[in-house]
Amino acid sequence: MSQGDAEPVADDASRPVPASGRRLRRWSTGLVVVLLLAALTTYQFDLGTRWFDLGPPSPVSEPAKVPPPPGLSLPQLGTAPAVAESTAPADADPVAVRRAVAALAASRALGPRVAVDVAQLSDGESVLSQGPAKVTPASTLKLLTAGAALVQLGADHRFTTSVVRSGPRGPIVLVGGGDPFLASQPVDDADVYPPRADVQTLARSTARTLRASGRDRVQLRYDASLFSGPQLSPHWGASYFPDNVVTPISSLWVDEGLQPNGYQRYADPAAAAAEVFADALRERGIKVVGQLRPGRAAPESTELAAVQSAPLGQIVERVLQVSDNEGAEVLARHVALAAGAPATFEGGAAAVLETLGGVGVDVAGNQTFDGSGLSRDDRLRPETLLSLLHVAATSEQHPELRRLLSGLPVAGFTGSLTYRFDTGSPLGLGAVRAKTGTLTGVHGLAGTVTTRDGAVLEFVAIADRVALRDNATAQAIVDRLAAALAACRCAA
């Protein structure tokens, strides 16, 4: 055959196809099938839109980008008119303020010690001050605790619960970081505020890390050493824990130390939290051997997993809204730690006052023993509460304190005031925002109110020697007093 002759080419039927060609043909056919199935699935289940952001905009996530139906012409959006004219807060007339509350403050049902103090929110100027110089604050003290926590830590601070180990075969340690709302189970309810970290999620992450390192058996210790001192205050009633008023305060617990029945409290909330965590590990295939017992995490420990709380600003709002005793006591200890003081009842109470004094709050002359106001030995000047509210409303240096105002319950609508203010002027509903303060024989409110004619006031009304038979009546009278300020034509 000459060089220029072409070799005859056999057709497919007469010439064998190499193995590589057959494989290529099979791969090509398979690829076509896969592409057709992918196209069909994408069309059927709208995966292009969900995975690759293809297709029309979503009315849920991008409602403004959804075009109107064909034939429908929509007007251009404009600026909505104001429902009311904007006005500057008016000054208050002291005579009118006194007249509005005089009869209610003098009610015999309030007992012999009734403090009523009112000031203008804008400049803190007092317009009324009557009654004892110091009162038992009850839960109005939580305003001070929450404010000091915000100053020391900031509204974005989060508390971490972690699991650590020292050495590849040593015990693992569940370390409490003082998260007041650490939960035993994931909380998916959208109505629960703020969101909760939980030990089930922590156990899942821990189990994953352990298995990755070849471990499926561990000893477990738990570390609640972040806080110190007694867990129940010597200034509290001896019946508080037996009567399920409050949980022993710990840096490690779940569900604030409440048992699953929802009202009894664990005597050792840290041990109970460790049991819940151990059960969660077992459910995920990790065998927990030996006894659960306390043990401090070594400084050189390696973190295996961690969960974080909601931001402090949200925690503060919740503590104030529902008057959470346990949450307030945990926050007081965090204030102490941030201030370099012992994380005890005594250290927390002192650090709260010192912290607030440092930002201009008038804290002179007070004597406090806890962070929640459960102690009947607490003595607080009403002016201190007014001073704190004023600083929270006006301080440009500490905008985080605005969380105190947003956390105040709204009369007749939210938190501990949801089912109150059903007597007195209806103008109090929605216009009064106040922290409640209630112990047997003590009834009080501390917060803000806008009068009928635009004066914005801060007020404290506390009766701390109410006869047992008058408790229900006294609470209603304090509500009516606050509502009377809302209904007052008190502008100067």
Which one is catalytic: 107, 139, 251, 372? 139
Asked if residues 404 and 147 have their Cβ atoms less than 8 Å apart, the reply is yes
Residue 11: what pLDDT?
Answer: 35
What global pTM score does this model have?
A: 0.83
Residue 19: what pLDDT?
Answer: 52
Residue 85: what pLDDT?
Answer: 64
Q: What is the pLDDT along the chain (492 residues), one digit of tens a residue?
A: 433 333 333 333 334 445 555 555 555 565 555 455 555 444 444 444 433 444 566 665 567 777 778 878 777 778 878 776 666 778 999 999 999 999 999 999 999 999 999 999 989 999 999 999 999 999 999 999 999 999 999 999 999 999 999 887 889 999 999 999 999 999 987 778 999 999 999 999 999 999 999 999 999 999 999 999 999 999 999 999 999 999 999 999 999 999 999 889 999 999 999 999 999 999 999 999 999 999 999 999 999 999 999 999 999 999 999 999 999 999 999 999 999 999 999 999 999 999 999 999 999 999 999 999 999 999 999 999 999 999 999 989 999 999 999 999 999 999 999 999 999 999 999 999 999 999 999 999 999 999 999 999 999 999 999 999 999 999 999 999 999 999 999 998
Asked if residues 313 and 252 have their Cβ atoms less than 8 Å apart, the reply is no
Which one is catalytic: 107, 122, 134, 142? 142
Give the separation between CA 123 and CA 366, rounded to whole angstroms.
Answer: 23
B/e letters for 207-228, b = 16+ CB within 10 Å, e = fewer, are: bebbeeeebeebbbbbbbbbbe
Domains of the chain listed by start with CATH number: 94-154+315-487 (3.40.710.10), 160-310 (3.50.80.20)
Residue 211: what pLDDT?
Answer: 96
Residue 9: what pLDDT?
Answer: 33
* Active site (annotated) includes residue 323: yes
Residue 28: what pLDDT?
Answer: 57
C-alpha dist (Å) from residue 192 to 195, 214, 310, 381, 404: 6, 38, 12, 35, 19
Give the separation between CA 66 and CA 356, rounded to whole angstroms.
Answer: 50
Residue 431: what pLDDT?
Answer: 96
Which one is catalytic: 122, 301, 323, 372? 323
